[in-house]
Amino acid sequence: MTAAVPAMTAPVPARTAPVLEVRGLSKHFGGVQANADIELAVAAREIHALIGPNGAGKTTLVAQLAGMLAPDTGSIAFEGRQIQALAAHQRVRAGLARSFQITSIFRRFSVLENLALAVQARSGTSLSFWRPRHEDTAIFEEARELAQDVGLADREEELAGALAHGEQRQLEVGLALATCPRLLLLDEPMAGLGPEESERMIALLAALKGQIAMLLVEHDMDAVFRLADRISVLVAGRIIATGTPQAIRADAAVRAAYLGDAESAQSGPRSR
Amino acid sequence: MNQRSLAIAGIVALALLPPALQALDQVFYIGFAARILIYAMAASSLNLILGNGGMLSFGHAAFIGAGAYTVGILAAEGVGSAWVAWPLAIVCAAAAALVIGAISLRTRGVYFIMITLAFAQMVYYILVSMKAYGGDDGLNLGSRSAVGFGLDLKDEFTWYYTCLALLAVVLYLLNRMTAARFGRALEAIRENETRMEAIGFATYRHKLVAFVIAGAIAGLAGALLANQSSFVSPKLMHWTQSGTLMVMVIIGGVGHRYGGLVGALVLLGLEELIAEFTLYSQLGVGMVLLGIVLFAPQGIAGLFQRSATRPLP
Amino acid sequence: MSGILLLEQSLNGLQFGLMLFLLAAGLTLVFGIMDMINLAHGSLYMLGAYLMATLAQATGSFLVALPLAIVATGILGVLLEMSLLRKLYQRDHLAQVLATFALILIANEVVRMIWGAQPMMLATPAVLSGPVDLLPGLSYPSYRLLVIGVGLAVAALLYWLVTRTRTGMLVRAGASNREMATAMGVNIKRLFTIVFGIGAMLCALAGALLGPLLAVQVGMGEEILILAFVVIVIGGIGSIRGALVGALLVGMVDTIGRAFLPALFREFLPPQYAAGLGPGLASILIYLLMALVLFWKPQGLFPARG
């Protein structure tokens, strides 16, 4: 596949090197091609949305980037460093965190404890056997700040499993944020959210915009077009277009391949 | 604080047991009580990985055997000092746990159960085939280990208090561990391993450390068990022994800080008690275990207190 | 000479492997479909052997006793499933281990109470007590040939049942995806009971056939249970084909290893090492095999779940 980068690709902003650069990434499952020749660059501090119909290979790509699924071929550079040999937890420590499409939190732990664990992961060793953890006030202070940031300040003591779905999604993003990432892989953060909860999540992500680069995989086109600086379109395992929201909206191939049927099935791009 | 007073009360009660048994003219039971303490140690070590870590190891008897045989082989070679044999037993068991854990922890779920079982079977058969050290028939130590300082472990009182002191130290260490960063991370791995990786924890390494610690403690229990009867045999490592330890943890309370102790006490006590009345004691034990599964799913300790795995306040 | 010996040991391995398959087939289905660890599977095997020994003595006929023992064990299995085990399907593996471990204790004591602690003798049927000349220089016990024949026939029957019949299809659907089977309107409860009953009958068949070759005694179930677990883990939990391949592999490797490894070691090692190492390695060979298989294929050779 040589024509992986279509002509309409918007250049990465020139002053900053891309924080993430993916080249020729492919993955087969048995005879099924999950994705092929993925070329993708996320610039520092941009929100780069990745859209595409169900089964296009978005979650596979996120898993490959996060180190939870080994690609067959291709390379992944994070901040100029090749990371495809790193294990998942090492990528997180390098500054690349992810959230999950299907909420993955510590359900039997409190909200504060959830966040404290994520803080613990990056501050000092966890092979500490003697000092009681509850004396570790620093990590709980940071956890409280994070709870504040993701809008769960008044739910700190609640069991994560007892939170409303929308709050769990906020915690999901909070866990990723707690690792102090420089690039956040967000796998459908709006999944299953009602309109009000979606607004809260959009506000949360908008507040982070400009501080952390994000690769936002999302079906909610409203959210995508409001948040994204650039959009890549993944169809049947291949990136068919990358560009600004305006360019993508205008692109005939994208409309035909994706937005056309999506508009009838889901909330298509709306203007406000 | 309640926890602490409970622990102190427990230790005092256990310390008063030998004089009480002597007063009742039941000195025979001091040895039996020591055996319970040793099994409590072994079951508590299993509880660290099974209860706190969620690793269903079905081969824990291998580490008890490694510890016991270290003491047995050293004794056969003329090394009878506890100060040499017991630390070596711990080291050997830990080494075995490192190798077995490093391979087994790459598998998940049922496959983990089965591969730990397979490794324990290998250790079992290797020792059966070691004819130089008794093979199938086992190995007589001749005597309990020597500790010096004018102490004689052959004295049942000294032996009991030695076991009690070591158990108290082990339980204290385990409690510190589970309340520290290490233990909280271990419980979180049990709760959601994928998420732990996704927030940057080296979960495999963390589980392996827990596995090795549990193996080391089981090795100490094995060293004590070898001394208890001055005899080691491959039967210590039979898979039903691993099953028995698992049963102790389950009835005592999975992940409960005193689950191993309660489980050993209940299971061995029950066996002894039922044996008073019938030749077929295992029938009664089996019935009680079935009753526990069906009517007390959280184990005995769980009947009185919520599990230690509940979230932090 | 050594070729004849190899052939003879291969037949032994085949026979042992087929018997392991009878045990593993039921175990893998219960495990695969119900996600249930049943440590008491070996106890059904033991009960089958004891029933067979008793019935053979009472009736004086191997052939009359065999179906009776199989049916009796099957009924026991069904009763066990309906009274207790079905309560455990929804519980975690720990509860299943505890409950079925308790069942082992109970079964062993009950057997001791009824039959005593001494092993029971189960005689080979008189017609089959002599050897048969298979090849010049290779005479093989005719009873073992019967065991191989029955084993092959049952394996073929089971394979047909699972791959060609409607019940078998449902069983396979259940093993790979329980929700789907439920969605297809399968009466899961009845299916589980049937599968468990068949598993118990296969246990009894294995126990009855192996009875004359091994001692019928308390504890016989525990030893072979672990081998059956090794088989289904190698084969892939829930897969009948995996159970067959795994059983034959384990049977062959174990038998041939035990027959030839000690001699092989004596060739290359000084006797003081060879005496211990040979038999030692031979007895752990199948566990090494399992560890190797899991290393390369963590789901076994024929994973039932996608």
To test the contact with chain A by mutation, choose from B48, B174, B186, B197 the residue with the greatest count of A C-beta atoms within 10 A, namely: B197
Are the beta carbons of C233 and B115 separated by less than 8 Å? yes
Chain B residue whose CA is closest to C95:
B293
Which residues, numbered 9 to 48 in chain C, qualify as contacts with chain B under a Cβ-Cβ cut-off of 8 Å?
31, 37, 39
Average pLDDT over residues B46-56: 92
Q: Is C223 helix (H, G, I), strand (E, B) or coil?
A: helix
Chain B residue whose CA is closest to C228:
B114
Bridge partner residues of B231 (DSSP): B140
- The per-residue pLDDT for B169 is 96
What is the least distance, in Å, from the CA of A233 to any CA of chain B? 25
What is the least distance, in Å, from the CA of B266 to any CA of chain A? 29
DSSP B120-172: HHHHHHHHHT-GGGTGGG-EE-SSPPB--TT--TTSHHHHHHHHHHHHHHHHH
Is the pLDDT at C145 greater than 60, yes or no? yes
> How far is the C-alpha of C272 from the C-alpha of A33, rounded, in Å?
58
Chain A residue whose CA is closest to B189:
A106
- The per-residue pLDDT for A27 is 87
Q: Provide φ and ψ at B83, rounded to 5°.
A: -70, -20
To test the contact with chain B by mutation, choose from C27, C85, C91, C94 the residue with the greatest count of B C-beta atoms within 10 A, namely: C94
Using CB atoms, which residue from B173, B180, B188 is nearest to A106?
A: B188
Which candidate, C303, C293, C212, places its Cα nearest to that of C250?
Answer: C293
Using CB atoms, which residue from C87, C106, C300 is nearest to B283?
A: C106
Residues of C in contact with B277 (CB under 8 A): none
Using CB atoms, which residue from B176, B191, B200 is nearest to A129?
A: B176
The DSSP secondary-structure symbol of A11 reads P
Are the beta carbons of A136 and B181 separated by less than 8 Å? yes
Count CB neighbours of C83 within 10 A: 9
Chain A residue whose CA is closest to B209:
A127
Residues of B in contact with A156 (CB under 8 A): none
Using CB atoms, which residue from B117, B126, B289 is nearest to C102?
A: B289
Which candidate, C27, C38, C67, C17, places its Cα nearest to that of C204?
Answer: C67
Are the beta carbons of B311 and A108 separated by less than 8 Å? yes
Count CB neighbours of A264 within 10 A: 7
Residue C125, domain member (yes or no): no
Is the pLDDT at C281 greater than 80, yes or no? yes
Using CB atoms, which residue from A68, A136, A179 is nearest to B199?
A: A179
Q: How many domains are there within chain C?
A: 1
Are the beta carbons of A88 and B198 separated by less than 8 Å? yes
Is the pLDDT at B313 greater than 50, yes or no? no
- The per-residue pLDDT for A266 is 43
What is the least distance, in Å, from the CA of C216 to any CA of chain B? 19
pLDDT 10s digits, C153-180 = 998 998 888 888 887 877 777 766 666 6
**CATH class of residue range A1-95+181-272:** alpha beta
Are the beta carbons of C229 and B250 separated by less than 8 Å? no
The DSSP secondary-structure symbol of C121 reads P
Using CB atoms, which residue from A109, A112, A122 is nearest to B200?
A: A122
**Model confidence, pTM:** 0.87
Q: How confident is the model at residue C115 (pLDDT cuts 50, 70, 90)?
A: very high
Helix axes C166-176 and C188-210, enclosed angle (nearest 10):
100
CB pairs under 8 A between B and C: 132
Domain, as residue range, for C169 = 2-119+141-296
Q: Please check whether residue A39 is in contact with residue A241, taking contact to mean a CB–CB distance below 8 angstroms.
A: no
- The per-residue pLDDT for A258 is 67
Q: In percent, how much of chain C has pLDDT > 70? A: 93
Q: Please check whether residue B36 is in contact with residue B272, taking contact to mean a CB–CB distance below 8 angstroms.
A: no
What rounded mean pLDDT belongs to chain B?
Answer: 88
Chains in contact with A, where contact requires at least 3 CB pairs less than 8 Å apart: B
Distances (CA, A) of A40 to A188, A242, C22, C281: 18, 9, 54, 53
Which candidate, C220, B198, B186, B305, places its Cα nearest to that of A89?
Answer: B198
Are the beta carbons of B195 and A134 separated by less than 8 Å? no
Average pLDDT over residues C36-47: 92
What is the least distance, in Å, from the CA of B201 to any CA of chain A? 6
Q: Which residue has the tokens 């620093």?
A: A138
- The per-residue pLDDT for A264 is 41
> How far is the C-alpha of B28 from the C-alpha of B25, rounded, in Å?
8
B219, amino acid identity: G
Q: Where are the domains of chain A?
A: 1-95+181-272, 107-180
Q: In percent, how much of chain B has pLDDT > 90? A: 50
For chain C, the first-to-last Cα distance in angstroms comes to: 47
- The per-residue pLDDT for A265 is 40
Tell me which range, A170-179, B21-30, B133-142, is most confidently predicted by mean pLDDT: A170-179
Q: Tell me the residues of B at the C interface, defined by beta carbons under 8 Å apart.
A: 50, 56, 58, 103, 106-108, 110-111, 113-115, 117-119, 121-122, 125-126, 128-132, 239-240, 243, 246-247, 250-251, 254, 280-283, 285-287, 289-290, 292-294, 297
Residues of B in contact with C280 (CB under 8 A): 125-126, 128-130
Q: Please check whether residue B260 is in contact with residue B45, taking contact to mean a CB–CB distance below 8 angstroms.
A: yes
- The per-residue pLDDT for B22 is 85
What is the least distance, in Å, from the CA of C81 to any CA of chain B? 14
Q: How confident is the model at residue B307 (pLDDT cuts 50, 70, 90)?
A: very low
Q: In percent, how much of chain B has pLDDT > 70? A: 95
pLDDT 10s digits, C27-38 = 988 887 778 889
CATH number at C256 reads: 1.10.3470
> How far is the C-alpha of B90 from the C-alpha of B92, rounded, in Å?
6
Q: Would you give per-residue pLDDT tens digits along chain A (272 residues)? A: 344 444 444 444 445 678 999 999 988 887 778 888 899 999 998 999 999 888 888 888 999 999 998 888 999 999 989 998 999 999 999 999 999 999 999 999 999 999 999 999 888 788 888 888 888 888 999 999 999 988 899 999 999 999 999 999 999 999 999 999 999 999 999 988 989 899 999 999 999 998 999 999 998 888 999 999 999 999 888 898 899 999 988 888 888 776 555 444 444 344 33
The predicted complex's ipTM stands at 0.84
The DSSP secondary-structure symbol of A259 reads I
pLDDT 10s digits, C221-238 = 988 999 999 999 999 988
Distances (CA, A) of A83 to A23, A64, B79, C68: 12, 11, 52, 65
